[in-house]
Chains A and B, each alone.
Chain A
């Protein structure tokens, strides 16, 4: 059993919150640069230029690339031989989010209650925390700030097995067309297929943190990723919805076994700044 101090987790999460919001990861940056060369719309290329320049400014001047610094979505891989001392994992993570969002001049966008009294919690907590137990004695933490512009256009549908591949394609493309300009295209599309309702949504979110150049290891799903990207880029939505060839930079699919009668499909849309940062303790 290896001991990890809760305070160490707090410090690490605080740094991740800042890093994820200031520094666009290389795979996303490269996808933007490549996207610009493929864009045919002059206005679309100008928008690509602005987006790339924006990432450069954010990095050089250490400031948030987007004013919507999101809810902090946290994926934890908790080694079963790691013991946390000095507080709970959840409390340590939330303390880190509060510290990072305050120290980093990040916008606090969390309200304490969704319907009757939408009062800002003042420190961007609580975070959305997903924990998976894994072998080993390390803790891997990924923090992905999720803005509402793109999150609000995401969708989930319980298809039936007979809907098949064609049904999945139709639902994904419909979701993107319905989203249009709002999620700040060129977007990254996370798709979760299988499991149950909540598992599919979780997979779609998790798909967004996979490197954009990496295809699904299963050849059929890798092929579907390519086909969906092509279909989405035929919509003409383009950068910021003002028309163009490049509506999405990538489609990442994650899948899971499911019930004989089920075919859940979740589509989680991310803006061009698909932000995330990770640490292994």
Chain B
């Protein structure tokens, strides 16, 4: 296991640039939860010429729909959901200044092109490791679209949230690189 890189949010252009595909990262600071329905609604707002409900400049979004919190806990289990379902919306949000996305799974070519253009990094968290990851989430507060329940936009405070750089801001893709090493044909 390579050394883990500690980063804090909001992300600077320099931080994003220094993250390379395959890096193991621990994130501390504020990240925003948003998934399918919230993304759809945000893009509809942009289509109407409105602003996003949250200023994402320099921020990171985590694709997550947590399970309900037990009494006394800030959040329930909170692992990443499949990022590909956000692909249709992501480039529009990246154009608004978002600097990082956290989820799981592959991204479309259009998303990767937008990442290169806007200087954005895509990280993946371990799918299903939801109880483990939730221990790094110290606060969870819904900030927009509360009617969407587990799909609402929420502000989360995290300490040492574990993730791996899957696609860096230059478009290097660790899914391709990692799988190639172990493929036996």
* Chain B residue, CB-CB nearest to A62: B70
Instruction: Please tell me if A105 contacts chain B, counting CB pairs below 8 Å.
Output: yes
* Chain A residue, CB-CB nearest to B177: A243
B24 and A105 contact, CB distance less than 8 A:
no
* Chain A residue, CB-CB nearest to B129: A54
Complex interface bits, A222-241 against B, C-beta within 8 A gives 1, otherwise 0: 00000000000011111011
Instruction: Please tell me if B53 contacts chain A, counting CB pairs below 8 Å.
Output: no
Hey, which chain B residues are within 8 Å of A148, CB to CB? Answer: 82
B131 and A64 contact, CB distance less than 8 A:
yes
Instruction: Please tell me if B77 contacts chain A, counting CB pairs below 8 Å.
Output: yes
Hey, which chain A residues are within 8 Å of B70, CB to CB? Answer: 63, 105
B175 and A105 contact, CB distance less than 8 A:
no
Complex interface bits, A97-110 against B, C-beta within 8 A gives 1, otherwise 0: 00000000111000
Determine which residue in B2, B76, B78, B174 has the highest number of CB atoms from chain A within 10 A of its CB, and name it.
B76
A243 and B181 contact, CB distance less than 8 A:
yes
Surface stretch bound by B, among A65-73, A80-88, A164-172: A65-73
Residue from A51, A236, A241 in contact with B105 in the complex, judged by beta carbons closer than 8 Å: A241
Surface stretch bound by A, among B43-51, B60-68, B108-116: B60-68
Within 8 A of B (CB), among A160-210: 180-182, 184
- Given A237-B179, A242-B164, A107 and B76 contact (CB-CB distance below 8 Å): yes
B127 and A149 contact, CB distance less than 8 A:
yes
A-B contacts at CB below 8 angstroms, number: 157
Chain B residues with a Cβ closer than 8 Å to the other chain, count: 48
Instruction: Please tell me if B119 contacts chain A, counting CB pairs below 8 Å.
Output: no
Hey, which chain B residues are within 8 Å of A138, CB to CB? Answer: none
Hey, which chain A residues are within 8 Å of B180, CB to CB? Answer: 236, 243
B127 and A63 contact, CB distance less than 8 A:
no
Interface residues on A, range: 35 or more
Within 8 A of A (CB), among B23-63: 24
Q: What is the distance, in angstroms, from A113's C-beta to the closest C-beta of chain B? A: 15
Q: What is the distance, in angstroms, from A243's C-beta to the closest C-beta of chain B? A: 3
- Given A51-B128, A182-B106, A67 and B64 contact (CB-CB distance below 8 Å): yes
Q: What is the distance, in angstroms, from B81's C-beta to the closest C-beta of chain A? A: 7
A57 and B66 contact, CB distance less than 8 A:
no
Instruction: Please tell me if A130 contacts chain B, counting CB pairs below 8 Å.
Output: no
Hey, which chain A residues are within 8 Å of B74, CB to CB? Answer: none
In whole angstroms, what is the CA distance A41 to B68 when docked?
A: 34
Instruction: Please tell me if A58 contacts chain B, counting CB pairs below 8 Å.
Output: yes
Hey, which chain B residues are within 8 Å of A106, CB to CB? Answer: 67-68
Q: What is the distance, in angstroms, from A129's C-beta to the closest C-beta of chain B? A: 23
- Given A67-B79, A107-B66, A184 and B175 contact (CB-CB distance below 8 Å): no
Listed in ascending order, the chain B residues whose CB lies under 8 Å from chain A are 1-2, 22, 24, 64-70, 76-79, 81-82, 84, 104-106, 124, 126-135, 149-150, 162, 164, 166, 174-175, 177-185
